[in-house]
Structure 1
C-alpha cells in the first residue's frame, strides 16, 4: 500500500494533489535560500504568535509551506510522498485537501492559543500528521476487515508520536492537533454509510 513503484510521470498523473503540494513546498524552500529575497520570504510566512496577535492572520496558513532546513523539508516531503498518495486515492482530491489543510490550519491555531507570544514555528508536519490521523480513522472502521492496514498504520503513528516528544525543536502542539483533526475528519469521511454513498455515485 505504501510502496511507491510509479515513475515520476505516473506519480504526478495518479496523485496530482500530493505532487502539487510537494512541488510547492520545494519551490518555496528554494525561494527561502536565495540571496536577498530568501529571508523576506521566510519571515513573511513564519508562524509567529506575536505577529498573528497583531493581525497578520495569513500566518495561520503560511507556516505549512516553510521549513527550517533541508533535512526538515526532506523528512516532511518524503512522508507526504509515501503516505499521501493512498489517502488521495481513497478519499479523493477535495477530501484529501480538506484533511491536509484543516489539520495544518488547526495545528497553527492551537499553537497560537496554547503557546506564548514569543513562539515561532514552521513546517508541514501538522498537516502530515493529519494524514496519519485520517488513516487511523480508516483503521478504526476497517480494523476487522483490513488487519494489514492496522499492522502498518498503528506502529507508524505510535513511533511518530514518541519521536515528537524525543526530538528537539518540534512543535508538539501542531503534531498532536493535526493527528486529532485528521482522525475526526476521517471518522466522517470514512464512515461506512458514506463509503457506500461514494460507491453508488460512481456506478
Structure 2
C-alpha cells in the first residue's frame, strides 16, 4: 500500500492528482525560488498565509499556502510524503474525492492557524496541513474502517501518527496548528469520502487502466503476483519504516 513499485509512467497514469500536485510543487519552486522570476516572486508574496492579511479580507490566503514552499528541501520532503501516502488514497477514493479531501484538510489547517494563533503577523506556507489530512483519513480507517487497511499498514499509520505528533510539538518553528487542524480536517471528512471506498489493490489499478486501452487485451492475474507484491517480510517493513521516519523528520523539521 505504501511501497511504490510502479514505473514512472505507471505512477503518472495511475495517480494523476498526486502526480499533478508533485509537479506543481516543483514548478512553483523553480519559478519562484530558483529562477526568481518577477511575476512568480510577486505571486508567492500574494499567496503566503498571513493572519493579518486574511483578517483584512484576503481570504484566498487560506488556500494558496497549500501549494507553496519555503525552499527546495521543503518542497522535496512534502512531495516525498505525498508520493508515499497519497497514491493508495487517490485510488481508494477516486480523483474527485481525493481533491476534495486534500483541499479540505489543507484549508482546515490554515483556518485553524488563523483562528487559534494569536500572532497577527505570523506567516506560513506548505502542503503539510493537507498531508497530515491524509494521515487523518488513514487514522480514521484504522479506527473505524478496518476492512480497508490491513494490520501491517495500520501499524505503519499508527507509528507515523505517533512520530508526527511528537515531532510537531518537539521541533521549533513548526506550524503546530496547521498540522493539528489538517489532521483533524482529514479525520472529520473521512466518514463522508470513504463511503463506497475499496481496499487499495495495485493489480486492480493496472487491470482497470489496461482494459481502458483495449478490450482485446487479456490479463493473467498471476502476472503481477510474480513481482511478489503480497509479501509482508519483516525486513521490508523495517526498511520502509526507517524511510518514512526520516521523511517525516525532515518534513517537520523544515517547516
Q: Compute the TM-score of the two structures, normalised by the length of structure 2.
A: 0.72
Residue 14 in structure 1 maps to residue 18 in structure 2? no
Unaligned runs of 5+ residues in structure 2 are: 199-255
Deviates more, 1:34-43 or 1:156-165: 34-43
1:104 equivalent in structure 2: 106
Aligned 8 A contact 2:101 2:193 in 1 = no
Q: Give the drift of 1:36.
A: 4.4
Residue 169 of structure 1 aligns to a residue whose secondary structure is coil
Residue 137 in structure 1 maps to residue 148 in structure 2? no
Matches within 5 A, 1:1-40: 1-33=1-33, 34-37=35-38, 38-40=40-42
Query: Quick one: distance in 1 between partners of 2:6 and 2:37?
Result: 38
User: How many residues are paired up?
Assistant: 194
Query: Quick one: distance in 2 between partners of 1:141 and 1:112?
Result: 30
Q: Give the drift of 1:188.
A: 2.7
- Compared CA separation, residues 67 and 195, structure 1 to 2 (3 A): closer
Residue 76 in structure 1 maps to residue 70 in structure 2? no
User: C-alpha deviations, 1:130-163, integer Å up to 9, x for none?
Assistant: 0000011111124477222211110011111111
Query: Quick one: distance in 1 between partners of 2:193 and 2:144?
Result: 11
Q: Give the drift of 1:39.
A: 2.9
Query: Quick one: distance in 2 between partners of 1:49 and 1:7?
Result: 42
Give the RMSD, CA atoms, in angstroms: 1.7
Query: Quick one: distance in 1 between partners of 2:90 and 2:37?
Result: 37
Larger Rg: 2
User: C-alpha deviations, 1:13-38, integer Å up to 9, x for none?
Assistant: 00001101111111111121123424
Query: Quick one: distance in 2 between partners of 1:71 and 1:195?
Result: 34
User: C-alpha deviations, 1:75-97, integer Å up to 9, x for none?
Assistant: 10000011000000111111111
Given candidates 154, 160, 169, the residue that maps to 1:156 is: 160
Q: Compute the TM-score of the two structures, normalised by the length of structure 1.
A: 0.90
